[in-house]
Amino acid sequence: MNVHDILFWVFSIAMLVCGVMVIAHRNPVNSAMSLVLLFAFMAGLFVLLEAFFLATIQVLVYAGAVMVLFLFVIMLLDIRASVLKRLRWLGLVGALLVSGLLVWEIQQVLRQPAVESAVEAKGLALGLSDVVKPLFTQYMLPVQLTALLLLAAMVGVVLLSKRDLQ
What is the footprint of another protein within residues 94-113 (CB under 8 A)?
A: 94-96, 98-100, 102-103, 106, 110
CB of 25 to another protein, least distance (A): 8
Hey, how many other C-beta atoms are within 10 angstroms of the C-beta on 72?
10
Q: Which of 75, 92, 140, 144 binds another protein (CB under 8 A)?
A: 92
- Under the criterion CB under 8 A, does residue 37 sit at the interface with another protein? no
**Maximal C-alpha separation, the chain:** 63
CA distances from 17 to 12, 91, 101, 135 (A): 9, 21, 20, 35
**Cα 24 to Cα 82: distance, rounded to the nearest angstrom:** 12
- Under the criterion CB under 8 A, does residue 84 sit at the interface with another protein? no
Site map for another protein, 109-148, x if CB under 8 A? -x----xx-xxxxxxxxx---xx--xx---x--x---x--
